[in-house]
Structure 1
Amino acid sequence: MLIVAELHSDPFDGETPVLAPAKFRHAVLVPTMNVQSTAETIQRAVAEELAVVENFDNPAVVGLLTEGHLIRRYAEELDKARRDLSGED
């Protein structure tokens, strides 16, 4: 992942390889990961967002997941499960 703000703040000499400023090259998510492993991966990487790739063998980027979105969706699902258990509509 390339962080746009960092790209604008660092002067490049024209010789720097494009992957030099890349972050989180070895920390990616795949669509089949569960919430716990996704949260652990984000936490280990100390990232606010990570790329979602097709699979570990094919690193084609299919999306981006932010920590905030993960937490928000998890909270929504917990609330839905609570409502279902309590009989609320």
Structure 2
Amino acid sequence: MKLPYFKLGEALRDAKWELEIGSGLDKAGAVAKLVGKTAANLGMGVMEAGVVVAKVLPAAVARQAQEALKANPDMPTEQRQKLEDFVDQHKPDRSTHL
């Protein structure tokens, strides 16, 4: 899903305009709008990045589990079974690489 980011160029132009000709209250409002839109864009960007990480993390952990299984052939049976189950549930594939 593409999030509706604010156009900061327009917000900056509006703020500049208000800072040049606006009253004290207009200037404060324009700066507050610019700061708010910037913060909103930052929050949406962080959220999108979090979604990407959440999608690829299980496969990345499964790859690490596979490596642990190969590197530790004498691992206790119960621990080995847990790792094998996790790898089976989250089989890493090429489509989940960042």
TM-score category of the 2 structures, normalised to the smaller one: 0.3 to 0.5
Pair member with larger Rg: 2
Of the two structures, which has the highest relative contact order with CA contacts closer than 8 Å and spacing of 6 or more?
2
Structure having the higher strand fraction is 1
| TM-score normalised by the chain length of structure 1 | 0.35
Q: Using structure 2 for the length normalisation, give the TM-score.
A: 0.33
